[in-house]
Structure 1
């Protein structure tokens, strides 16, 4: 067996975007892999023959990673092979190009060009398509411009690169850059006539849509000055091009909306009892009437953390009068169904994570992580779960891995779930250093699935331990609600769990490190200002000052207020009390800060402030800033930067813990 190394994630295969052919014979999906030399990710379409269970690569994809079935033997995918069109796009024109591939001959040819920056697309009948595309209210429409008009517009585009206009909040978004007056707009597109028909208006974002029998149902967030965390629901009749308001965008956060029997079903959160993180309830809308269909106290998503995923997956699908969805229960995510009588069934086994799924007759396929296996595709038929791919089997069979051992502690009156990963070279009686790893969110969970960085550290001779403190997902609204309590009960949970680990494993040296990202970075900053028990710390994409985060990040103006139950003008003392920066003068722990220059979720200023503060007070500190990266550095950052990030963190631990 070989030791697992930092660079080994370059050999991992990541899976996403399950779909099924119109005749039901094939399951299609995307396979992604890091390319260190090109410093990006390659993406390929694969098809799986359901009868033989054989699968093969079909074709490569462009960066947009969009594909769809057109008929039983043809797939359309995003790809631009036209050099001239690429040059026009570089100048500022908006184009999305698609190729079509025949499954039998493997022949590829151009299928269509859409003069929009398409963000998602769905086939209706090979002629008509539903799509979303970016619309810039302040942008310059260069498509079709010629002569003097084009020269003037090109000059205006060049000038606009020297400044940004900001007149609304949020003004930027993590992974999106500046978003001021830019919207994700819904369109109908006719491939034969070239007609583009805008369905949603110019100031609305469409975040979710679904299609059935000539109708589209979709969510709308309309704003001009400040984006509120509320959405409306509309339906659109394709034949008559008529729009109908189903739910005004004033009361609810809309989690999803799908057709359901002869009406629609949606997940709505009124935020009244537990704030923004409140779990949605199931509602139906029929004949213009909104009704509560089913109470719910679990999240409607997969929140089980891992640094070994890439790409997007759907959480909801409707089939034959049943809604299928992914939910997180304790430390696992599972697939459930909900029928027209309100009866729920858990379909997948309650271990690991379900990352995406597709329905195929009486069979279900899902992308999952089970035990220490990386992502593979599994099938469920007649209640039997079966793995049908082996993309990552060599990693599982050939690399030294350490299975997490369950360890719980009672804290604040509740049993807190946690795990300990022993060093792969573990010997009885030998002393080892250890690392406490804290998850983000806070409304996410750790489970016992594969986590690359933890397994790397176990291979380097560290104990790694982690738990799910108050504020996490999987245990209902009350457990997840830490509004106004950041740094209190969650801090106590983490310290109580640390005590439990050191008492249960006395061979752990007193040299313990702590790390975490996002909310985990916040807690790392908080911990070093409230205890000196850790020999070193690594704070990643962190929060240090609730005041500055309020005014500089894409979610700060509403997330901070909700989670702290205060604002810079309402009880500012409380906002400062919960800011780790307040306690920076107490810090003695050597700390490494990892931050990305374009992280607009937890902006660079958060790391810089905490770094400056503890440096000012004479504490050993280092900050590593990654250019061109955002909040997702550890999960989908450029491969070279992901390697460098983990090298920096590991080097810090090696210096202070060994």
Structure 2
């Protein structure tokens, strides 16, 4: 049977397998599978279970809601998880033998996260609580409630995906007694508390909280070790930057956590740190790797992937993710400083769990031609078993294009890494158009992972080039930092050098039919490119930045991100304007489609509106497509029918002009 080509509607067929969690005895595990319900136009995530001796997979929860954050009790007899069955996320609990889940919490504003107490009779919860209220207090619903003005004195008053932030609600930590249903507050004060970790003896919590009154320019959340009985606090780390994911070793002597300081602002590599509670010292275990700990991949398939920051074994070895050279690999570390990869190249390990003895790992793994499944790997030998086959039928019926990895020289004689896809159904001797796709961030990376959008472009008959220019993670600290203060400089040259390289090496590419697209920073770069070269016959800019001057005041991150990335604020408007694509609108000759979400608080829609009206006023060929009820993440987690409409707009524009 001849395989068909990828379609936009394949989003309804693809299954996302994420979040494997091993039982304490290592004999069974649970994971989350997400699909899109086409009829209800929503994402549905359910809990699945697997016995590791028989590889028998069973669905444990049903319904059309979302399950997340599964966690076993210390004795392995119970399982807790979050579910939005009743709108807000609440904690549910079920027997490890199966059966119906029982709802534990009924908090007014839902639950942000939770941790089992090792005793198995209590659960620690982190949840928003209104000032002067309790976790369980309910607000009276008033259908006739009149609109009220919103007042703020803070600069951080809005957030993409959330909107305007509540001024009178604060994340607090409490402990929930499973038998009685009582919840006892543990933290207090008008601060945002984060629940991080709990010791295996149940005597200590790790929490994150910044108690500074004015946090407009605070980019830190100190971590504290808190004695549960006395509430005495010991500083784990208190410095500029973001640190978290704290995990106690099994003997409770060490605490592992990850984080990045502010040396290179948001371009700083994340590292793995170890705190020794016996002498109070902290070491940076991954300082010598020159690559970021964690998952820096930008893609559009996995839903709700939430990997542990780090996992301990009983002999005090550690496992963590590392983003390196377009891969996310599972890495091993010892306290003595040994560091080596535990998984191979050319894949994306986006979820994992390691047995307590370090014998094997459960992993959710994707590559460029596989959306991802659950695998078991024997760590010593590298031998693998694939435990699920949710995407098997899809792969049997659809022709995917395997990208070819490329490395070329950019300015500064740096190696730049990327991928080139031939069009689906490629025939030798034919000429084909090419589209360059540019990632956002800019401190993220394209990777050896499944990317539906790239496959769709190839299926529509285009070659696809996607690269990791300077500013991308996964190569070196110098490389990821090099874009800051130079937007539209060396990064632009890196991308164009990649185009020149593949044109020289691939006679099948029609140099007269080139397209370019990208979102967020990739949208900025698309705008910049069409203002600086006429080599492209069509362009689609998505959720873009066009004007750094207005971005400063309208983006949820603008007032500090502009300084971090461009190197200045409103005290030097000329420099902001110099790096603004809008300044170069008069040079644009490329037909440009502008795609933007109306509820984007990261790159607000006024960025698109300015660009559109400016280009139209100059008689340029441009169109504007607005997506209602959508935020900055439309392409990844947006309303399903709008995600498909977006893909149709992009491919339709290129079909018209290429």
- Correspondent of 2:41 among 39, 42, 63: 39
- Correspondent of 2:351 among 326, 332, 356: 356
Question: In 2 relative to 1, CA 229–636 (structure 1 residues): closer, same or farther, beyond 3 Å?
Answer: same
Question: In 2 relative to 1, CA 185–554 (structure 1 residues): closer, same or farther, beyond 3 Å?
Answer: farther
Shift of residue 369, structure 1, vs aligned partner: 0.5
- Correspondent of 2:161 among 175, 200, 209: 175
Mapped contact 2:21–2:70 kept (Cα < 8 A): no
Separation (CA, whole Å) in 1 of partners of 2:237 and 2:418: 42
Shift of residue 255, structure 1, vs aligned partner: 4.7
Separation (CA, whole Å) in 2 of partners of 1:586 and 1:654: 24
Structure-to-structure mapping, 1:467-482, within 5 angstroms? 467-481=467-481, 482=483
Question: TM-score normalised to the size of structure 1?
Answer: 0.91
- Tell me the equivalent position of 1:562: 564
- Tell me the equivalent position of 1:376: 373
- Tell me the equivalent position of 2:185: 198
- Tell me the equivalent position of 1:638: 639
Q: Helix, strand or coil: the match of 2:105? A: strand
> What's the Cα RMSD here?
2.4
- Tell me the equivalent position of 2:52: 50
Structure-to-structure mapping, 1:107-146, within 5 angstroms? 107-108=99-100, 110-116=102-108, 117-124=110-117, 125-137=119-131
Question: In 2 relative to 1, CA 177–76 (structure 1 residues): closer, same or farther, beyond 3 Å?
Answer: same
Separation (CA, whole Å) in 1 of partners of 2:653 and 2:622: 10
- Correspondent of 1:300 among 293, 301, 306: 293
Question: TM-score normalised to the size of structure 2?
Answer: 0.91
Separation (CA, whole Å) in 2 of partners of 1:480 and 1:142: 42
Question: In 2 relative to 1, CA 535–143 (structure 1 residues): closer, same or farther, beyond 3 Å?
Answer: same
Question: In 2 relative to 1, CA 375–204 (structure 1 residues): closer, same or farther, beyond 3 Å?
Answer: farther
Deviations 1:143-169 (A, max 9, x none): 657xxxx7xx5559923x443222212
Shift of residue 529, structure 1, vs aligned partner: 0.9
Separation (CA, whole Å) in 2 of partners of 1:37 and 1:112: 30
**Unpaired segments of 5 or more residues in structure 2?**
none
- Tell me the equivalent position of 2:611: 610
Separation (CA, whole Å) in 1 of partners of 2:300 and 2:643: 10
Structure-to-structure mapping, 1:280-429, within 5 angstroms? 280-285=270-275, 286=277, 289-294=280-285, 295-296=287-288, 297-314=290-307, 315-320=309-314, 321-360=316-355, 361=357, 362-381=359-378, 382-386=380-384, 387-412=386-411, 413-429=413-429
**Is 2:530 aligned against 1:528?**
yes
Deviates more, 1:127-136 or 1:532-541: 127-136
**Unpaired segments of 5 or more residues in structure 1?**
90-94
Question: In 2 relative to 1, CA 58–589 (structure 1 residues): closer, same or farther, beyond 3 Å?
Answer: same
- Correspondent of 2:150 among 161, 164, 178: 164
Number of aligned residue pairs: give it.
634
Q: Helix, strand or coil: the match of 1:408? A: strand
**Is 2:27 aligned against 1:25?**
yes
Mapped contact 2:30–2:70 kept (Cα < 8 A): no
Question: In 2 relative to 1, CA 206–330 (structure 1 residues): closer, same or farther, beyond 3 Å?
Answer: farther
Mapped contact 1:430–1:507 kept (Cα < 8 A): yes
Shift of residue 593, structure 1, vs aligned partner: 1.3
Mapped contact 1:591–1:621 kept (Cα < 8 A): yes
Shift of residue 6, structure 1, vs aligned partner: 0.9
- Tell me the equivalent position of 2:432: 432
Question: In 2 relative to 1, CA 229–459 (structure 1 residues): closer, same or farther, beyond 3 Å?
Answer: same
